[in-house]
Amino acid sequence: MADSSSGVTAQVIRKANMADVPAIQALVNHFAGQRLMLSRSLSEIYENIRDFFVIEKGGAVIGSAALHMFWADLAEVRALAVAEGYQKQGLGALLVAACRDEAVRMGIKRIFALTFQPGFFKEMGYSLISKDELPHKVWSDCIKCPMFPDCDETALILELQQPESETPSSMDGQKG
């Protein structure tokens, strides 16, 4: 996958594998300890490892994000974290773009995020929505959260463009 390096040691963004799980958990739970995001158990990350992208530098995981499918047209970006010392260098944007590209490939039409960083997601093109607009299925996860029901995360959504090949062809209007 793409190499986003500008330094001596390359930063590589790629799909995660089982060996990354302890490092992903340490990264996410570091920020969860600061109440910036939700904590994740090892079991939850292992079970959902195919959702995850990581950014690796010098063998260390310095960024993570996951795209979790909810319904035929809906997915969530979650567990987004960039290690302190590597923030404000475009890596968060790279992770969110990787999730967006995968969503497009999968035929997803909308991605949402529940976050304490709405400003970042607005920069990424997401728009604020009311949490009530999210389908009930989303709340099956929320019920397990220690913050439920007093969650003060903000909901944002990104409507995805269909790829060129799936938009109505210019030939369509020329039949008959």
Ligand X SMILES: CC(C)(COP(=O)(O)OP(=O)(O)OC[C@H]1O[C@@H](n2cnc3c(N)ncnc32)[C@H](O)[C@@H]1OP(=O)(O)O)[C@@H](O)C(=O)NCCC(=O)NCCS
Cis, bond preceding 146 (omega within 30 deg of 0): no
* Strands (DSSP E) found in 38-169: 52-57, 60-71, 74-82, 110-115, 127-129, 154-159
Site residue total, ligand X (CB under 6 A): 19
Q: Does 134 sit near ligand X (CB under 6 A)?
A: no
Contact flag: residue 88 with ligand X (CB under 6 A)? yes
Provide CB contacts within 8 A for 62, sequence distance 6+: 11, 27, 55, 56, 82, 83, 86, 91
Give whichever of 41 and 169 is closer to ligand X, judged by the CB atom.
41
CB closer to ligand X, 91 vs 98: 91
- Is 64 a binder of ligand X (CB under 6 A)? no
Q: Does 147 bind ligand X (CB under 6 A)?
A: no
Distance of closest approach, residue 16 Cβ to ligand X, in angstroms: 16
CA 43/CA 15 separation, integer angstroms: 18
Q: Is 91 in the site for ligand X (CB under 6 A)?
A: yes
* Positions in the binding site for ligand X (CB under 6 A): 31, 36-37, 80-82, 87-93, 115-117, 119-120, 123
